[in-house]
Structure 1
Amino acid sequence: MSEMSPDEYLDAVDEKRRADVRALDALIREEAPGLDRVVQRGMLGYGPFRYRYATGREGEAALIGLAAQKRYLSLYVLCAVDGRYLAETYADRLPGASIGKSCVRFTALGKVDEQVLRELVAEAAGMGPRDAAGV
Structure 2
Amino acid sequence: MQELHRIILGLMPKCRLWFLDGKNSENKTVSNPNIGYGFYTIQYTDGKTKDFYQIGMSANTSGISIYIMNINDKTYLSQTYGEKLGKASVTGYCIKFKALKDINIEILKAAIKDDLKQYISE
**TM-score range relative to shorter protein:** 0.7 to 0.9
Structure 2 residue runs without a partner (length 5+): 23-32
Superposition TM-score, scaled by structure 2 size: 0.76
1:87 offset after TM fit, Å? 2.6
CA contact (8 A) 1:47 1:62 kept: yes
Residue 37 (structure 1) aligned with residue 37 (structure 2) = no
CA contact (8 A) 1:46 1:63 kept: yes
SS, match of residue 39 in structure 1: strand
- Cα distance change, pair 102–76 in 1 and its aligned pair in 2 (3 A): same
Superposition TM-score, scaled by structure 1 size: 0.70
SS, match of residue 14 in structure 2: coil
Q: How does 1:3-22 map to 2 (within 5 A)?
A: 21-22=1-2
CA contact (8 A) 2:43 2:49 kept: yes
Runs of 4+ in 1 over 6 A off after TM superposition: none
Residue 108 (structure 1) aligned with residue 88 (structure 2) = no
Cα distance in 1, alignment partners of residues 84 and 70 from structure 2: 17
* Equivalent residue for 1:52, pick from 43, 53, 60: 43
CA contact (8 A) 1:79 1:127 kept: no
Q: Counterpart of 1:27?
A: 7
Q: Counterpart of 2:118?
A: 127
1:29 offset after TM fit, Å? 0.7
Structure 1 residue runs without a partner (length 5+): 1-20, 129-135
After superposition, the CA RMSD in angstroms is 2.1
- Cα distance change, pair 48–85 in 1 and its aligned pair in 2 (3 A): farther
1:56 offset after TM fit, Å? 2.5
- Cα distance change, pair 86–24 in 1 and its aligned pair in 2 (3 A): farther
Residue 87 (structure 1) aligned with residue 69 (structure 2) = no
CA contact (8 A) 1:32 1:121 kept: no
CA contact (8 A) 1:52 1:58 kept: yes
CA contact (8 A) 1:52 1:59 kept: yes
More helix by share: 1
